[in-house]
Every structure is written in C-alpha cells, then in structure tokens.
Amino acid sequence: MSWLVTLPLLVPFATAVALALIPRSHRGAGALAVGGAALLLAAAALLLAAVLQGGPVVARIGSWPAPFGITLVADTLSAVMVLVTGVMGLAVAVYATGEVGPERTRFGFFALYHVLLGGVVGAFVTGDLFNLYVWFEVLLIAAFGLLVLGGERAQVDGAVKYAALNLVSTVLLLLSVGLVYGLTGTLNLADLHLRLAAHPEPATVSAVAALLLVALGIKAAVFPVFFWLPASYHTPPVAVTAIFSALLTKVAVYAMLRLFTLLFTQEPGFTHGIILVTGLLTMVVGVLGAAAQNEVRRILSVHIVSQIGYMLAGLALLTPLALAGAILYLVHNIVVKALLFLLAGLMRAFGGSFELKDLGGLWRRHPGLAVLFLIAAFSLAGLPPSSGFWGKLALIRAGIEAEALALVVAAAVTSVLTLFSMTKIWSEAFWKEQPAGASGPISPPPGRLGALRGPALALTALVLLLGLLPGPFLAVADRAARELLDPGAYAAAVLGPERVAGAAP
Amino acid sequence: MTVLLAALCGLLTAASVYLMLSRNLLRFLFGLILVGSAVNLAILTVGGLGPSTPPFVPEGSTAPTGPVANPLPQALILTAIVISFGLVSFGLGLALKAWRTLGTVDVDAMRAAEAEEAEPPSVEAPPEPARPRRPERPAA
C-alpha cells in the first residue's frame, strides 16, 4: 500500500528527467509532458481511492521507523490536494503545448513544469516538518525557472520581486522549523503533535507558531505581505500564471491547514485569532486592490489574494463546518482560478490584448468564450448554484454559528465586490464594441487552438459539476475536516496506536 | 557559549536587515546570505551545544557509547546550506540578467512589469549605454 503515496511523487520527477534527456523536438516534449501529467492524475486517483477506502496511507522512506526516518502520509486532505494537482497539472500541460513556443521548450520549460508539480505533491504528502521546508524549496526553484524563462523585460522585473520576497520567507520558514526542533527535539509531524501538546511552555510554542505564520503568510500572499504576487503573476506566459495561481499559494494554505490543526492548537485564541484577522483583512484588501486594476491578468492575480482570505477564515474558526467549507473553497478556487487565467489567454488569442481598453466585442464574435467566462466568473463570485457558492455558504454558516459577525460581513461584501470586478471584465472585454485601432486576434498556429480550448472546456465542466452536484464533494470535504480536527488518529496512523495511547495523559 | 552564539545571530541579523533594506539588488542578496548564516547558527544553537565527540557507533554495538554530539542539527544545516547556495546562485544570475535587460539593479527603478499609467517618466530605465560591454559568446 505504501507505494501508492510515493507514486505521485515518482511520476513527475521521472517525467522531468525523461524530458531533460529524451526529446529533441518541441512536439515530442509536449506529448511527453502531457503523458506524464496524465500518469500523475491516475496515480493521484489511485491514492485518493485507497485513502477513502482504508484511511491514511503511510510510507516510511528507507523503512526507518516513524519518528526517526522521513514519513510520507496521505490522509483525505492530502489525497484530495494531490488529486487536484493532478487535474490542474494535466489541464495546464495541455494548454501549455498550445501556448509555449519551441524556444522555451528548448530551455526546459516542460521539465521545470514537472519539477514544480513534483514539489507541490511532495509538500502535500510529507509527514515531516523539515521535509516540508525542502519541498517548498523544490517548488520555489522550479517556479523561479518558469517565471523567468523567456527573459522578457517584464518577466525579469517580476521575477526579481517574486524571488526576493520568497527568499525572505524561506529564511523565516527555515528558522521557525529550527526553533520547533529546538523546542521538541523532533521533526516528525505526528511526533510533534504529541510533544507540543505536552509542552510545558505554551507561550514559547505560540511565539514560534507566530513566526511560522509569517513565513507561510508570505508564501500564501496574505494581507500585509502579498505584494510580490501582483508584481509578478501577470508577467509569464498564461500557462505558467495558471499553474502558479492554482497551486503555489495554495501549498502554503495547505501547510497552514495542516500545521495549525495538528501542531499549534495550544492557544487558539492567540494563533487562530491572528489567522482570523489577517484572513478578513486579506479578503477585503485583495478585492479592493483588484477593483483598481485594468488588465485582465492583473485583476485575476489580485483576486487570488482576496480568496486566500476565505480559506484562512475557515481555518481560524476551527469547527468541522468551517474547515470543510475552507477545503471545499480551496479546491473550487484552484480549479476556477486556473480556468479564468486560461480564458484570459483565449481572450488575448481572440482579442489581441490583455488590456481592458484594447479589448471589446468578444461577445459578438466568440459567444462560446463569453459563456465559459460567465460560468467561471459567477463561480468565482459565488453565485448559486455555482461551485463557489457551496464553500462560501458553509463558511458563512460556520461564521454565524461561531458568532463571528465580522467574518460573515466581510465574506458577503467581498463576494459582491468580486462580482463587480468580474462585471468590469465582462462589460469591457465582451460587451462594449471593439475599440477602433485595436490589434486583431493573435491567433496561434491553426493546429494549436484545440490545445488552448480543450482544457478550458474540461475545467468548465468540472466547475459545473462541483456546483450542480456538490454532494460527494461536500462529503469528502467533511471527512477531511473531521480528520484534521482529530489529530490523534493522524498520529496513531504514523506512529502506531500504542505510542499515542502511551502519550495521552 | 550559547549566549555568545545567540548574540552573534542577533548581530548577523541586524547587519543583514540593514543590507536587505537597500534598494540595490546586490546588497539585498548579500543581506540574504548573511541572514542565512544567522539562521544556520540559530539551528545549531537551539539544537543544543553538547559534547563535540563525533556520534560514531563502535563496531559490535548498536548505539554510541558515552555522550556524543547531536548530528541532526548539522544535517539540517548542511541541507539548508546546499539549498541556499542554489537559491543565492539563482539570485545572482537574476541580478545579472536584470542588469542586462533592465539596465539597473535599483529595485525602485524596475518598473517594466508595472501598469503603464503608474509609470512616471523619471524612472525610465536608462537606454543602451548602461549595458556592460561584453563580447557575445558563441552559442553553445
């Protein structure tokens, strides 16, 4: 069974090696990358099926027993995140074969892409705090490469800001991991759960937790420390922005969901209070920042910030409903955000620009694209019965139950303002007449258009499915939330039930 | 010794924060190298400065005899050094690339990715002369 959790790690790295060694042609590299992503999706589906059937899957690397060696653990949340990574990895890989030119392929675009996917999967399945830091570095270095590949002026500028601020957060992450080790003498997450729960100085633990929160907060792009994101996300090719927006900030959100339910629950009034306040501010500031933008990719990028806030707010409440809502919203947001970026790519292919002032008349000329955009935009704003609605509904209900009125108000206001931004794109790019002097469509070579359209259609179908048939997804999110709130079961799966029973007072 | 190392960490961090507040990208990177060293020292210190005997297991037994140094913080630091080496190398490469394409290493003057309206004319990157003169290498 334990091979199931290593498989989604092995596939992307094997693909990356194969991509670096084998293909001589652009088409060959694209085909190999898509094939590898499809294998990853299959491996992730196997893993989720196994987890849903038999509980957490644990692999001990090198067969070292749990607190000493590095453990890979997949519970429901991890398996769901790996599956979503597989879905997005495949969709964006197909899109990239249509968008990315032979020049970027020659410098290893697809190999870096698969290293990025491998790093993301590694962060989702690791059961070791230091190992989590290492996976963050793996995906970060791949992200640097993808961001700067091509070397256009805007890309270099964006990459400088992205790299600088992410390197600072890396240093803080490493320091907090070191301090946690100093407090407990262990790095295994399950072992840390037991030792931190019994730690004699909860105030010291909370101080380290706050430092960790800052480090992960920079990576997740939350309110006072999100400025690297709007400075860089609109600069690389659309495929890169789509996979970044789908996965990178979400890895940090996943890490917060994991660490602040498993490790740092000693003083929830302090740590989760900080998370709640930053979450609310992130929502509101992000959506206001997006309203001020006039370029499609920038509007969407700044919205990423706003939506991170919802997930943090769900984590802050620490109730099953709130966590289930946060997980559902996380999955929905990954899909719909990447979809919107892919649609932005199509808008540029048909309309010739990302700037709202140069776009126009797309509704008349490309009604199909307009319908896809409407579905995705409604879903992002959370109108019923779209996929965003259910996550927000759960979050707002959990907020009312927990009497967190500020959360309820902020979530509702943010939804309305999100709708405003989406309406702005709609009325400018689709409804108004095409401005005189606008450049015509930048059509990709004829054979490639299918590669751009296919993933957008598939992801739209997924968004509709999430919205119209939420039952199974809600059930899985609920299960994942309950597992998060019962860290004893996680520890027992990793360390064995005897160890956990022995540590209980 | 612990106090001394803690003070050294503080000193390194203070110096690195000063460097990182600079608008010059290279100074920022130097600050990053310094703060990386401070963090590595901190990990060594919080891991416990025990005896310096190497943790070898004598032949025939399964555990070291007598008190030995804790090898784990050193393993962590080694990993962190390798990673930060890679990241800093990338950062230096990026700074060079920024100098060549944008003509500046002043991060305030880098506005190529900003919205057109927000770009005041005074911070336009200087034109060609700022580029270093360097013979083109033949493509490998």
**pLDDT above 60 (res B49):** yes
Q: Is A269 exposed, middle or buried, given 0-12, 13-18 or 19+ CB atoms closer than 10 A?
A: exposed
Whether A157 sits inside 8 A of B112 (CB atoms) is yes
| Residues of B in Cβ contact (< 8 Å) with A293 | 115
Q: Which pLDDT tens digit goes with each residue over B86-118? A: 999 999 999 999 999 888 888 888 887 776 654
Strand (E) or helix (H) holding A58: strand A57-60
- Closest CA relative to residue A421, chosen from A343, A330, A499, A306: A306
Q: In chain B, which residue's Cα lies nearest the Cα of A177?
A: B43
DSSP A71: E
**pLDDT above 90 (res B138):** no
Q: In degrees, to the nearest 5, what angle opens at C-alpha A445 toward C-alphas A439 and A448? A: 120
Q: What's the whole-model pTM score?
A: 0.91
Strand, coil or helix: B9? helix
Q: In whole angstroms, what is the distance from residue B14 CA to residue A207 CA?
A: 20
Type of residue at A499: R
Q: In whole angstroms, what is the distance from residue B99 CA to residue B134 CA?
A: 13
Q: Is A227 exposed, middle or buried, given 0-12, 13-18 or 19+ CB atoms closer than 10 A?
A: middle
First to last CA, chain A: 32
- Closest CA relative to residue A318, chosen from A223, A428, A395: A395
Q: What confidence score (pLDDT) does residue A446 get?
A: 55
Look-up: residue for tokens 């990719």?
Answer: A297
- Using CA atoms, how far residue B64 sits from A185, A306, B74, in Å, is 18, 54, 17
Token pair recorded at residue A503: 């540590």
DSSP result, A158-197: HHHHHHHHHHHHHHHHHHHHHHHHHHHS--BHHHHHHHHH
CB neighbour list of residue A399: distance below 8 Å, 6 or more residues apart:
A313, A317, A322, A405, A407, A408, A411
- Using CA atoms, how far residue A466 sits from A321, A369, B138, in Å, is 18, 20, 53
- Using CA atoms, how far residue A309 sits from A216, A332, B102, in Å, is 13, 14, 34
Whether B39 sits inside 8 A of A178 (CB atoms) is yes
Q: In whole angstroms, what is the distance from residue A239 CA to residue B116 CA?
A: 23
Maximum alpha-carbon separation in chain B: 75
Token pair recorded at residue B37: 């060293």
Look-up: residue for tokens 């032979």?
Answer: A102
Q: Residue A295 pairs with which residues in a beta bridge?
A: A355
Interface test with A, best of B13, B23, B30, B72 (most A CBs within 10 A): B72
Give the number of other Cβ atoms within 10 Å of residue A402's Cβ: 17
Token pair recorded at residue A446: 């004829």
Instruction: Please check whether residue A56 is in contact with residue A461, taking contact to mean a CB–CB distance below 8 angstroms.
Output: no
Q: Of A141, A167, A177, which has the smallest distance from its Cβ to B32's Cβ?
A: A167
Whether B79 sits inside 8 A of A170 (CB atoms) is no
Residues B42, B46, B52, B58, CA torsion sign: negative
Q: Which residues of A touch B (CB under 8 A)?
A: 130, 134, 137, 140-141, 144, 148, 151, 153-161, 163-164, 167-168, 170-171, 174-175, 177-179, 181-183, 231-232, 234-235, 293-295, 298
Peptide bond connecting A385 to the previous residue in cis, omega within 30 degrees of 0: yes
Token pair recorded at residue A396: 């707002």
Q: What confidence score (pLDDT) does residue A445 get?
A: 58
Q: What confidence score (pLDDT) does residue B127 get?
A: 46
- Closest CA relative to residue A468, chosen from A381, A379, A394: A379
Q: In whole angstroms, what is the distance from residue B99 CA to residue A482 CA?
A: 52
Q: What confidence score (pLDDT) does residue A339 get?
A: 94
DSSP A355: B
Interface test with A, best of B43, B82, B124 (most A CBs within 10 A): B43
Type of residue at A172: L
Q: In whole angstroms, what is the distance from residue A219 CA to residue A249 CA?
A: 6
Length, in residues, of chain B = 140
Length, in residues, of chain A = 505
Instruction: Please check whether residue A132 is in contact with residue A255, taking contact to mean a CB–CB distance below 8 angstroms.
Output: yes
Torsion angle defined by CA atoms of residues B103, B109, B112 and B115, in that order, rounded to the nearest 10 degrees:
-170
First to last CA, chain B: 52
**pLDDT string in tens for chain A (505-residue length):** 688 999 999 999 999 999 988 877 888 888 999 999 999 999 999 999 999 998 899 988 888 887 888 899 999 999 999 999 999 999 999 999 988 888 888 888 999 999 999 999 999 999 999 999 999 999 999 999 999 988 888 889 999 999 999 999 999 999 999 999 999 989 999 999 999 988 888 899 999 999 999 999 999 999 888 989 988 998 999 999 999 999 999 999 999 999 999 999 888 889 999 999 999 999 999 999 988 888 889 999 999 999 999 999 999 999 999 999 999 999 999 999 999 999 999 888 888 888 888 888 888 888 888 999 999 999 998 888 888 899 899 999 999 998 888 899 999 999 999 999 999 999 888 888 877 766 666 665 555 777 888 999 999 999 999 989 888 999 999 999 999 999 888 888 888 887 777 665 4
Q: In chain A, which residue's Cα lies nearest the Cα of B113?
A: A154
Look-up: residue for tokens 């901190």?
Answer: B42
Distance from CA of B3 to the nearest CA of A (A): 15
Give the number of other Cβ atoms within 10 Å of residue A147's Cβ: 24
Whether A167 sits inside 8 A of B91 (CB atoms) is yes
Instruction: Please check whether residue B50 is in contact with residue B69, taking contact to mean a CB–CB distance below 8 angstroms.
Output: yes
| Residues of B in Cβ contact (< 8 Å) with A156 | 94, 97-98, 101-102, 112
Whether B87 sits inside 8 A of A170 (CB atoms) is yes
| Residues of B in Cβ contact (< 8 Å) with A126 | none
Range in A316-325, A470-479, B24-33, B48-57 the model is least confident about: B48-57
Token pair recorded at residue A109: 């675009």
Q: In whole angstroms, what is the distance from residue A195 CA to residue A276 CA?
A: 26
Q: In whole angstroms, what is the distance from residue A293 CA to residue A245 CA?
A: 17
Q: Of A164, A171, A182, which has the smallest distance from its Cβ to B39's Cβ?
A: A171
Q: In degrees, to the nearest 5, what angle opens at C-alpha A390 toward C-alphas A344 and A240? A: 25
Question: Within A405-448, where are the H helices?
Answer: 405-425
Type of residue at B136: E
Instruction: Please check whether residue A496 is in contact with residue A66, taking contact to mean a CB–CB distance below 8 angstroms.
Output: yes
Token pair recorded at residue B104: 């500046």
